[in-house]
Every structure is written in C-alpha cells, then in structure tokens.
Amino acid sequence: MTRDELNEKLATEPATRNQVGAIHREFERLGFREKDRAERLAVSAAMLGLGSLRSTRDLTMGEAGCLVCLLLVTADRRELPAPGRPAAAETGDAGGDRDGSTLAAVIWAMVEAYLRAAAPGRAGAVSGKPDDSAERGQP
C-alpha cells in the first residue's frame, strides 16, 4: 500500500470497532459515563478541531486514531478542552497536517501525545505510572 492509498483510507474509511471501543474506554477511564455522551462527543470534536460530532462511529479511521492517541496520554478530565473550544494543540501554528484524516495527522497526534507524556513530572508514556519510560534512568 502506498502512502497516498493509506492517506485515502484514513480519510475515508470509518473508524474500526476497536478504535471506537478504545475511545469509549479512555473516556470511561477519565470519568465519563453513559449519561455524559453529549459532553464526550463535544470534547471529542474539540480535540479533533471538528465543528460537531453526532457519534463516535461518524469518525474516520484517521480521526479515531488521532483521538485515541491524544486520550491515551490524558491523565485526567481537567486536561481535556472545554466543549466547543479547540484543544491547545490545535490553536498553535507550529505546522503539521492537523486535519485528522491523513497519515501525517495520525503521526502528528502520536508525537504530540508522546511529548505530553514525556514532559517532566508527567506520567510515563508506557504504563501511565510516574517514573516510567520517559523518566526512566533519571535520578
């Protein structure tokens, strides 16, 4: 598969069942319950820079991949953007493909997620526990 074919797939294919499940599990970990569906969808839209989102199943494979990456390194609910406001990463002009539907966007989300996890004083990128991976080997 070429890069163009993969970009096309990420931009057009619907999110997989596994991706949707991972998104739901991450929101549950962050304290969202079934009754919080509207807020969860609004936060998801804000994290991806979308105007709105009717269902997690409406995401493309690329958008779902970006959202999973960002949620995996979100330590708690307070780090999430307010519904209707773009995530901090979306407001900068550091460049990169941020439309959420291409390979470059997925990779960019993974890099941002890693950098957030690797920040000093943050939980490690592997297990989410302090002193794991990013801080390993430091006194």
Q: Which domain holds residue 60?
A: 3-119
User: Would you say 67 and 48 are in contact if contact means Cβ atoms under 8 Å apart?
Assistant: yes
In a domain, 30, yes or no: yes
* φ, ψ of residue 60 in degrees (nearest 5): -80, 170
87: in domain: yes
In a domain, 69, yes or no: yes
Instruction: Specify if 131 maps to a domain.
Output: no
pLDDT score of 1: 83
User: What is the structure's pLDDT at 133?
Assistant: 42
Burial of 18 (0-12, 13-18, 19+ CB in 10 A): exposed
Q: What is the pLDDT of residue 3?
A: 84
Note the pLDDT of residue 97.
Answer: 45
Question: What pLDDT does 23 receive?
Answer: 97
| Number of folded domains that form the chain | 1
Task: Say what the pTM is.
Answer: 0.68
Task: Tell me how far apart the alpha carbons of residues 30 and 27 are, in angstroms, rounded to a whole number.
Answer: 5
Q: Is residue 66 part of a domain?
A: yes
Could you tell me if residue 139 is inside a domain? Answer: no
Rounded Cα distance between 23 and 37, Å, is 12
Q: Mind listing the pLDDT tens digit of every residue in the chain (139 residues)?
A: 888 888 888 889 999 999 999 999 999 999 999 999 999 999 999 999 898 999 999 999 999 999 999 999 898 899 898 876 666 544 343 344 445 556 676 777 777 766 766 666 555 444 444 544 444 344 4
With respect to residue 137, please indicate whether it lies within any of the assigned structural domains: no
Tell me the sheet residues that pair with 14: 60
Does 33 reside within a domain?
yes
Integer Cα distance of 109 and 111 in angstroms: 5
